[in-house]
Structure 1
């Protein structure tokens, strides 16, 4: 029996009970993900969490499951929600004259979602598939790893109010302006076509009007399966690369080539940061250590921004849904903004 036939055979009670059980299982799996790998990798296998091998293996297993669960949950929910709203209506609501407001709202949403760069990708796919303009969605993709409550709290505790407010303001400006610029270049042409398609029963459909709940649930299940099939190699490669470079702290390289005496220290810091992969919480201890050695704050914050907003693993994962032209423009726009902010911080903070 096909998925559609099983769904149609269900009574409303069975349907909602089934969805409730699936939701509970998803939450349990998400909550047990880290404890499971802590126990298996560190206790059973006995790898040292402080070693490159132990931290890398744990990172790969934990992040693969985490991002897969996020993909499943976010894509299913957004697919069901967008089945009630046409792509044209969504674009009319968030695009056009309201595009600037949409960018501000998307950047604000990014602030309250503490995703790392790769974890933000599932939400990005869902927003684009729902018809949200690509420029607006890019504002979310930039802001989510760059500015969030974890980064704000840690920066406040380590460096005080001034640098924290400058960082938050600069991050939001980069996200909003970057999204506006990407919207102006008509970036939709550089999105892989499958992202925009609405399918039911394996067929592309033009309208979701008149669909029942069983059809909408079927759409959600099919969309999850379809997108996972398309991106899983990129997911594994991206997270695998992140695991290899996870925990690498290039302090000597940084102090040698991005020290206070180098006028090109800020772009060098950004170039060093792009291949790395971490969230704000993971990179801030290195930033604090380098600051204690006398490196300028603007250079260090530019480095941190590059690590959390322009990671190479994120680019690999995005490649399945974005064409190379859009990835190149995205990196160029965000990197330019980060470099400008780095020089501004060095001038303001001395």
Structure 2
């Protein structure tokens, strides 16, 4: 299915540009052309298809469905909703405030916010095509587990007291109001409306993430073509205990979304870095980076941010150790 992208890269790099396959620059450029073209096509096709299905999704009905349910069911649904929505933190924050206004328990809302940057349907599809179903399944289970357990913990300590005044006010008003519990009638959506929604969704999301794909693939290409064979494997490939927390700390100053980090993950694995160390690094880059927390500062006080930051770092490190041990 994906041979056409390999053929395109062969034609451009080895045919048109006449570069030798033995050159590091040629290997890096080939990796970049093949993965970028593959990811761009998948992005547009898959986001359109999922947007078609999501065209009739009513956020108010989602809020109402979650409200009043068993807490663990709420954590699971909040995490699941975060996993199927292609949002980063900057676009998740308005929905986070909407959940607060609906009076949904803070744990359910935090489960959504924790999972949303880690997992989205595009990232899952790309992981499946690039790295296989086993790593994709592990990534999905781990990301949702972090969201569910994190939401439960933050609910237990009543983390709503550490929200910014605007978010806390919205949450308290939602708790006191019955408006969010009203039923919202489903709205019929025509095929034309679905097409326009899906088209707009595809171009909007593509416009937001394409640069991160280019950056991610570029870094992956650099790893693939210019890092000496065996260098990363010799430094991180033995799975030493310190390599996982080191990888997590290295990922903090960086930033990529779940889509853009996949080529980096592929490059690290090809260099011999263990799966656990690779996933810990990539999760840190996506969900615990400084830019991510600057955005979250809009809705959280420093105390909650620090707690969330520590939870994520510990979680990623434990996940890395576990996967390396397996």
Given the two structures, how large is their TM-score scaled by the length of structure 1? 0.56
Question: In the alignment, does 2:117 pair up with 1:145?
Answer: yes
CA contact (8 A) 1:147 1:168 kept: yes
| CA offset digits 1:249-280 (Å, max 9, x no partner) | 4956x939961244211111111112222112
- In the TM superposition, 1:217-296 aligns within 5 A as 249=219, 255=232, 259-261=236-238, 262-296=240-274
Deviation, structure 1 residue 207 = 5.9
SS in 2 for 1:281: coil
Aligned to 2:285: 307
Change (3 A) 1:167 1:124: same
Deviation, structure 1 residue 338 = 1.5
Question: In the alignment, does 2:58 pair up with 1:93?
Answer: no
Deviation, structure 1 residue 130 = 2.4
d(CA) in 2 for partners of 1:207 and 1:130?
A: 8
Question: In the alignment, does 2:314 pair up with 1:342?
Answer: no
Change (3 A) 1:179 1:135: same
Name stretches of at least 5 consecutive residues in structure 2 with no aligned partner. 1-28, 30-57, 171-175, 180-207
SS in 2 for 1:93: coil
Deviation, structure 1 residue 104 = 0.5
d(CA) in 2 for partners of 1:127 and 1:326?
A: 18
Change (3 A) 1:258 1:122: farther
CA contact (8 A) 2:233 2:273 kept: no
Aligned to 1:173: 145
Deviation, structure 1 residue 296 = 0.6
CA contact (8 A) 1:120 1:141 kept: yes
| CA offset digits 1:22-77 (Å, max 9, x no partner) | xxxxxxxxxxxxxxxxxxxxxxxxxxxx9xxxxxxxxxxxxxxxxxxxxxxxxxx9
d(CA) in 2 for partners of 1:260 and 1:150?
A: 29
Aligned to 1:115: 87
Worse-matched range after superposition: 154-163 or 288-297: 154-163
Match of 1:134 among 98, 101, 106: 106
Change (3 A) 1:90 1:149: closer
Question: In the alignment, does 2:190 pair up with 1:190?
Answer: no
SS in 1 for 2:259: helix
d(CA) in 2 for partners of 1:182 and 1:122?
A: 20
Deviation, structure 1 residue 117 = 3.2
Given the two structures, how large is their TM-score scaled by the length of structure 2? 0.60
Deviation, structure 1 residue 294 = 0.8
SS in 2 for 1:135: helix
Change (3 A) 1:256 1:271: farther
- Number of residue pairs matched by the alignment: 222
Aligned to 2:134: 162
Aligned to 1:326: 304
Match of 1:125 among 93, 97, 105: 97
SS in 2 for 1:177: helix
CA contact (8 A) 1:277 1:308 kept: yes
CA contact (8 A) 1:258 1:266 kept: no
| CA offset digits 1:157-203 (Å, max 9, x no partner) | 222121111111111111100111111111011012222436xxxxx
Aligned to 1:46: none
Change (3 A) 1:99 1:258: farther
- RMSD value over aligned CA atoms? 3.2
Change (3 A) 1:90 1:189: farther
CA contact (8 A) 1:139 1:179 kept: yes
Name stretches of at least 5 consecutive residues in structure 1 with no aligned partner. 1-49, 51-76, 199-205, 210-238
